[in-house]
A and B are shown apart, each in its own frame.
Chain A
Amino acid sequence: MTRYLSFAGIKFRSKMAYRFDYVLGILNTLLSFVVYWSIYKALYNGASEVDGVTFSMVTTSFLISLGLSAAFHKNEMFLQDKIKQGTIANELLKPVNFKLRMLFEDMGEGAFHVVFNFLPTVIIACFFAPIQAPSGARDVLLCLVSVILGYVVLWEISFIVQSWSFTLFSVWGLITIKNVMVNILAGAYIPMWFMPDWLRSAIRFTPFDSIYFTPVQLYLGELGGKEIVFHFARQLFWITALWAVGEYFWRSGIKKLVIQGG
């Protein structure tokens, strides 16, 4: 385990080599937030709440999903590049679990973006936008746990699409399509509360609302005791299910690679 944590650490540090990127990264994240803030400010047009949802709930939910997307800021062509360059074979010879290593390296990179891009953004955002304070220490803690679970769900969806690069020439198009679906259906573009009812109930059967919306609801204290358990269970279910699917594509991909002789 410590070995995998050190992979994360190395990645974190290597990101620090690009100093120009810190300042710009903060500005970037901040601007993304300002876009949503401005749009919803204009949409609310001074109204205190719409359908029981206050403006500060909206901005808070955008901020949380922005944090998670900042954490997920990674090179999704990684696997394809490794396969195309033929270096994947070398990676597989190393005595570490490639998938786990990839996950931890990505988390290290994500941690960098959270610390250096997202946290400064939160601080600056507090000066001009209404940000809801968490309903309690317990909620913050639950939210953090569920953010990590949400991250893993997001990561696994990405891994599944990436693993198709064993068969397809380029997965760029599919990754892009996947990102559109995640951004819309998981509520990064529009908060889940404002989606049409039919869409919202459809999304409940997909992994998408366990990515951003579960952490948001936990943070805002919208969930009661039983619901909390249910939502965590759902996140865990999707992690297991998606892991299995990813593992299937990964293994059959490797098998193909071995048959073709790399």
Chain B
Amino acid sequence: MRDILSLFFAYAKSGLKSRFQYKLDAIVATFAVFLREAGGIIAMYLALLKFDTINNWNIDELLFLFSLIFITYGIFIVFFMALRDFSDWIRHGDFDRVMLRPRGLLTQLVLCGADWLAALGHGTLGIVLFVISASRVGIQWNPAMAVYYIIAVISGVLIQGAIFLFFSSISFYVVETGSLKEIFYWNMRKFAIYPLSIYNRFIQSILIFVVPFAFVNYFPAQFFLRKADMAAYPEWLMYISPVVGVTLYLLAYSFWRFSLRFYKSTGNG
């Protein structure tokens, strides 16, 4: 464990050091990430100025729902950035280098790829939203709720990590997975920003069974908010995010192990 931590810090130090070679660029990039994500919120806010609620959720409740996405994603990119951009690692031959080092492949990928500035952009946004909204939606915090919240966040990170571990494994067969990610992650995330209940049955099933974003934010948020639209789903769905996260990750991990042998490296020289 100490060994892993020291490796993590060694990577983090060199990563930050190289990023801060270009200080102005680093600041602009962080701000840009922050603004890009805030863009969706601004659009939501403007729309709600006109319409007041969406499926009975007011703006504060929506922001609470939103905040879970950003907080989990902010942590996600600390650990899973390399998997998010794994096609690039393959295309540029960087994965060859990972294979040449005497450490677990995922250990290296998880520890080394953090984009700290983007994490800061997303994380700050998530925390700001959380602080604003959590007080206004009237949550009565107690230790059990705090524990639930932490577990929900970890599960959310794990679910997203598992999704990208699947994509990364697919990169061993077809290098270019940009469109897949676009559809099965980024577009699904656009859906997840709003309450699950506003979508038709088909999209709901995708968000529950295929790309289970519902367990990243909707069901955990319902645990705190108990909105009326939860009546459409069994109550225990609010409690199984960790199970979903761990199961999905294990599935993705076995697929990864299986797919590794199909790695072609770049160029067939």
Q: Is there a direct interface between A and B, measured as CB atoms under 8 Å apart in the complex?
A: yes
A residues neighboring B (CB under 8 Å)? 18, 20-21, 24-25, 27-28, 31-32, 34-35, 38-39, 41-43, 45, 50-51, 168-170, 172-174, 176-177, 179-180, 183-184, 189-190, 194-196, 199
Q: Separation in Å of the B173 CB from the closest CB of chain A?
A: 11
12 contacts between A and B (CB under 8 A): A24-B179, A42-B198, A50-B50, A169-B24, A176-B32, A176-B33, A176-B36, A180-B35, A184-B39, A190-B43, A196-B46, A199-B46
Tell me if B17 counts as interface (CB < 8 A to partner A): no
State whether A35 touches B191 (Cβ < 8 A).
yes
State whether A42 touches B32 (Cβ < 8 A).
no
Which residues of B (191-243) have their CB < 8 Å from a CB of A?
A: 191, 194, 198-200, 203
State whether B54 touches A184 (Cβ < 8 A).
no
State whether B187 touches A189 (Cβ < 8 A).
no
State whether B198 touches A28 (Cβ < 8 A).
no
State whether A177 touches B35 (Cβ < 8 A).
yes
A50–B48 Cα distance when bound, in Å, is: 13
B26-38 vs A, Cβ < 8 Å mask (1 yes, 0 no): 0011111101101
State whether A176 touches B35 (Cβ < 8 A).
yes
Interface size on B, residues (CB 8 A): 37
Query: Which of A28, A42, A45, A179 counts the most chain B CB atoms within 10 A?
Result: A42
B166-205 vs A, Cβ < 8 Å mask (1 yes, 0 no): 0000000010100110110001001100100011100100
Tell me if B138 counts as interface (CB < 8 A to partner A): no
Q: Which of B31, B179, B200, B203 contacts A173 (CB 8 A)?
A: B31
A53–B47 Cα distance when bound, in Å, is: 14
State whether B39 touches A169 (Cβ < 8 A).
no
Q: Contacts A31-B183, A43-B51, A173-B31; is A189 near B39 (CB within 8 Å)? A: yes
Q: Which of B29, B36, B43 contacts A170 (CB 8 A)?
A: B29
Which residues of chain A have C-beta atoms less than 8 A from B32's C-beta?
172-174, 176-177, 180
Which residues of chain A have C-beta atoms less than 8 A from B30's C-beta?
173
Q: Separation in Å of the B190 CB from the closest CB of chain A?
A: 5
Tell me if B42 counts as interface (CB < 8 A to partner A): yes
Q: Contacts A50-B50, A173-B32, A180-B39; is A25 near B179 (CB within 8 Å)? A: yes
B154-174 vs A, Cβ < 8 Å mask (1 yes, 0 no): 000000000000000000001
